[in-house]
A and B are shown apart, each in its own frame.
Chain A
Amino acid sequence: MSNPDSLKLSAENFDAIDQIVNKYNSDKGAAIMILQQVQATYGYIGQSMLERISQLTGTPTSELFSIVTFYSQFRLEPLGENFIQVCHGTACHLAGAERISEAVQHVTKAKPGHTSPDGKFTLEHVACLGCCSHGPIMTLNNETFARMTPDKVKKMLHQKVADKGFVNSEGCELSE
């Protein structure tokens, strides 16, 4: 799970890459857009994907790799079952983002920028999600949660660990 290359891409998987490249390659300077679409489809960008894109576009793999490593949006590891972002923008930092992140790491065992050993959680630090008046902000599977506390994190994630399913957002919503 944690080794991207262990995931061998089938011909079917390559199809999506082929389609993406076809769609965007006529645009000038499409490399970033292609990589973004590939990541949106697969959740990450693996070595074999870079090679395929390189074959199709003629851009050297090394150049693609240099782009992927420059921009923090790109992931070289597969996503876990759940995707968590903790905002570390200035407002959230002042509101205690560090503690939120620690609580997440404690429960999930995922390190920032990585996926937990059990493959259940990927944790990412981001700089500002634009909801600064409601910090600390955290997202779980692209749903945004405001005014987080370590306690709310624990409740919310323990539930995810336990039942894998529906998160009862009661404890996690904006409350006074």
Chain B
Amino acid sequence: MNEHANSTSADKSGVTTVVNVGLASCGIAAGAQKVYDTFKTALEGLAVELTFSGCMGMCYNEPLVEVRSLNGGRYIYGKVQPEQVARIVQEHIQGGTPIMDWVVYSDRIKTPDADFIDKQQRIILKHCGVVNPEDIDSYLSVGGYKAIEKALKSMTPEQVIEEISRSGLRGRGGAGFPTGTKWSFARKSPGREKYVICNADEGDPGAFMDRSVLESNPHSVLEGMLIAGYAMGAENGYIYIRAEYPLAIKRLKIAIAQALEKGYLGSHILDSNFSFNIMIREGAGAFVCGEETALIASVEGKRGMPRIRPPFPAQSGVWGKPTSINNVETFANVPWIILNGGDSFSRFGTENSKGTKVFALAGSIARGGLVEVPMGITINEIVYDVGGGLSSGRKLKAVQTGGPSGGCIPASLADTQVDYDSLKKIGAIMGSGGMLIMDDSTCMVDVAKFFLKFTKSESCGKCTFCRVGTKQMLKVLERITNGEGRDGDIELLEELGQKISAGALCGLGQTVPNPVLTTIKYFRHEYEAHIFDKACPAKKCKALISYQVLADACKGCGRCSRECPTGAITGEKKMPFTINQEMCARCGLCISVCKFNAITVTTGKERGK
């Protein structure tokens, strides 16, 4: 986060305090809009500026409100409810005394949560949660659009590419291809009409880095695209963004309009010969469209079917013209590199993985949110130092990276460094930045089945390996979790997985088996328990578990019985209730309503006792 109060308001007459509410979609889901509205009323008539930003990163503490004074430091309040607003205004804003019990981060004192921010290395996220994403002046006040100015005024396109190559930046969309090399291919491709595409499809279901960056600092991505356009000799860009992100789309539209108005987009940018326009294309809910050739087909208004490469998009992309596709985060790195130099960037990271990486930390983690760390940090450091350990107080079981194309890293390998090569070596991938923390209540077979179900329904159907292969793998996984697994099923899954990887046409099919293969590799015993003992050790798979009332703990209040959707629970008041196993749908509603922890789940030999 930025140390200096950037706000444009500092010089507005008499305003010495700024209240900044985090209004990204994660914050809004947590109730931040109501908090903002309450401040609006409460601050009426005071010489205080109320503003908003995107995601401050500490999603686990949302709604977040930052109070910064010109001379009094910055204080971020967490989990702010509308009822708390009056006291913050009275004691802190008017009285000058921050309410330390509610402060989760400050530049003045070290809070218990401070490590979450302090252990990060923020390049891309530096201004996320600081600038107002709907106000270009706010971006300009932190040095925005200075990089494109520098490139246009003092660098040739070749020098820009050289600088990006020197930085060692590799694509953040998953495959990790060197960005400078990609741009130089597109530059060298013959033809005058070329395109830059920003891949904002963010298909990994459980990742939100790109959404957060677009909702928090959209201009940084536009600026990265401008620089790419200048470097490659392209005059047009598309942003392909998934429709599930309406707020990001709205803020991008505002940003594009403002950039056009200020002359950072359009013709003869900053009085140079360089012209550039950006158009938005909304996805329509197809995971495969994150794959670059499918994405191109979708931009052209067709079904998003991938095709065989070569030709690569750099030779023949949208409308058959040379096209360079990069991920949101890749673009967001670019202005920083141009301003600070490739060498400064490559100081972060490892031999082959330079810079930082943004991760969306979610699952059973105490401090879930958006984190940016230098490459080469270990998974343990992310989970414990930054993330504060597991939320459930349970044990770490596995960390999933790379979503449906990625793998599950067991806790025993959590000292692995996060860089492209180390992750690949253990069967996982860097991916685009989803990082899901799983505790020991997670069933790894269920996780594998979840991903397969997802990819099977997202397979475009063009090649047989992927279309039929995923279906077969899912069938086997379903019978295993249904308690009908057979001897030999594990080997069958392994064989299918290897063949699909080798035979599939596009990156989707080639990586589909990864979640299955890594869970078999590291959690084989769990598959065996499902198959041979008909037990789900994590007590997740419905066909292998029973719900039972603990007679000792049950107070006979009857709440579960009233809530049970199938009427499976019966009993007399003040006496222990019982669950009819035939009728029980194992929905878990009874556990969620029981106040006495009187319902338990059993599996395997314990079952039904």
Contacts and interface: CB of A to CB of B under 8 A. Distances in A.
Contacts of B28: 144
Q: How many residues of B sit at the interface, in one of the four size bands?
A: 35 or more
Given A67-B302, A72-B284, A154-B563, A133 B244 contact: no
A138 B55 CA distance: 20
27 contacts: A28-B319, A30-B301, A31-B302, A32-B301, A33-B282, A33-B301, A35-B284, A72-B285, A73-B285, A90-B205, A92-B206, A99-B589, A103-B565, A103-B589, A127-B203, A131-B25, A132-B207, A132-B360, A133-B362, A133-B368, A134-B26, A134-B30, A144-B29, A145-B29, A151-B563, A154-B589, A174-B31
Interface stretch (B85-93, B165-173, B175-183, B434-442): B434-442
Nearest to A146: B29
Interface string A92-114: 11101001001100100000000
Contacts of A29: 299-302
Nearest to B391: A133
- Residue from A30, A33, A67, A89 whose CB has the most chain B CB atoms within 10 Å: A89
Nearest to A174: B30
Contacts, number: 155
B587 A150 contact: yes
Contact of A130 (B30, B202, B593): B202
B506 to A, nearest CB: 15
A62 B204 CA distance: 31
Contact of A151 (B31, B438, B592): B592
A78 interface: no
B139 interface: no
Interface of B: 25-26, 28-31, 59-60, 62, 79, 202-208, 211-212, 243-245, 281-287, 298-304, 319, 360-364, 368-369, 400, 403, 434, 436, 438, 442, 447, 450-451, 454, 460, 563, 565, 585, 587-589, 592-593
Contacts of B451: 90
Interface residues of A, number: 48
Contacts of B587: 99, 102-103, 106, 150
B409 to A, nearest CB: 14
A44 interface: no
B26 A130 contact: yes
- Residue from A127, A132, A151 whose CB has the most chain B CB atoms within 10 Å: A132
- Residue from B206, B283, B368, B585 whose CB has the most chain A CB atoms within 10 Å: B206
A91 B442 CA distance: 12
Contacts of A74: 284
Given A32-B284, A74-B284, A130-B244, 12 more contacts: A29-B299, A71-B303, A90-B403, A128-B202, A130-B26, A131-B208, A133-B362, A134-B62, A146-B30, A151-B563, A151-B589, A174-B29
Given A29-B300, A67-B302, A91 B363 contact: yes
